Chain A
Amino acid sequence: MMTAQTLAGERATETPRRSGGSLTLIAWRNLWRNRRRTWLTSGGIAFAVWLLVFSMSMQDGTFEVMVDNGARLALGHVQIQHPEYQDDPRMEYTLAGSDVLRARAEALPAVVAASEQAHGFALVSHGERSFGAQVFGVDPARESVWSSLPGMIRDGRYLTGPGEAVIGSVLARNLGARVGDEIVVLGTAKEGGVAATLATLVGTFTSGQVALDRALMQISIDDFRQAWGLAPDEAHAVVILAGSVAGSVELAQVLSTDAGPDTRVLDWRDLMPEAVQTIDVKFIGTLLFFALVAIIVTFSIVNTFMMTIFERTPEFGMLMAIGMKPGKIMGQLALEALLLALFGVVVGLALSAALLVPLAAFGMPLPAGAAEVLSQYNLPDRMYPRFSNVAAAASALIMLLGTQIAAFVPALRIRHMRPVEALRGAE
Chain B
Amino acid sequence: MSDPVVRCRSISRTYQDDSVPVRALVNVDFDVDRGEFVSLAGPSGSGKSTLLNVIGGLDRPDEGTVEVDGVSLNELSESALSDLRLRKMGFVFQAYNLIPVLSALENVEFIMQLQGIPAQERHERARAMLDELGLSGMSDRRPGEMSGGQQQRVAVARAVVTHPVLLLADEPSANLDSRTTEELLKLLQRLNEDHGVTIVTATHDPLVMSYAKRQVRLRDGEIIEDSARQAA
Contact = CB atoms under 8 A, between A and B. Distances in A.
Interface of A: 1-3, 5-9, 11-17, 19, 21-22, 26, 29-30, 33, 314-315, 318-326, 328, 418-420, 423
B125 A323 contact: no
Contacts of B1: none
Contact of A19 (B85, B91, B116): B116
A418 B132 CA distance: 34
Contacts of A3: 128, 132
Nearest to A328: B114
B195 A7 contact: yes
Contacts of B79: 325
B146 interface: no
B93 interface: yes
B85 A26 contact: no
Contact of A322 (B158, B194, B197): B158
Given A5-B125, A12-B117, A33 B101 contact: yes
Interface stretch (B28-36, B51-59, B201-209): B51-59
B99 A315 contact: yes
Nearest to A9: B163
Contact of B116 (A16, A320, A326, A423): A16
B125 A9 contact: yes
A420 B115 CA distance: 22
A423 B128 contact: no
Interface in B149-166: 158, 160-163
A8 B190 CA distance: 14
Contact of A6 (B97, B115, B129): B129
Q: Which of B83, B95, B97, B124 has the most CB of A within 10 A?
A: B97
Contact of A16 (B90, B115, B132, B190): B115
29 contacts: A1-B132, A2-B190, A2-B195, A3-B132, A5-B128, A6-B128, A6-B161, A9-B163, A11-B87, A12-B112, A12-B115, A12-B117, A12-B162, A13-B116, A16-B115, A21-B119, A22-B106, A26-B102, A33-B100, A315-B97, A315-B99, A315-B100, A320-B58, A322-B90, A322-B158, A323-B111, A323-B115, A324-B86, A418-B58
B97 A13 contact: no
Contacts of B194: 1-2
A3 to B, nearest CB: 6
Contacts of A14: 116
A235 to B, nearest CB: 74
Interface of B: 53, 56, 58-59, 78-79, 82-87, 89-91, 93, 95, 97, 99-102, 106, 109-119, 124-125, 128-129, 132, 158, 160-163, 190-191, 194-195, 197
A17 B59 contact: no
Contacts of B87: 11-12, 323
A29 B132 contact: no
A420 B58 contact: yes
A7 B160 contact: yes
A106 B164 CA distance: 82
Contacts of A13: 115-117
A188 B128 CA distance: 101
Nearest to A321: B91
Q: Which of A3, A16, A321, A324 has the most CB of B within 10 A?
A: A321
A314 B191 CA distance: 27
Contact of A420 (B59, B82, B90): B59
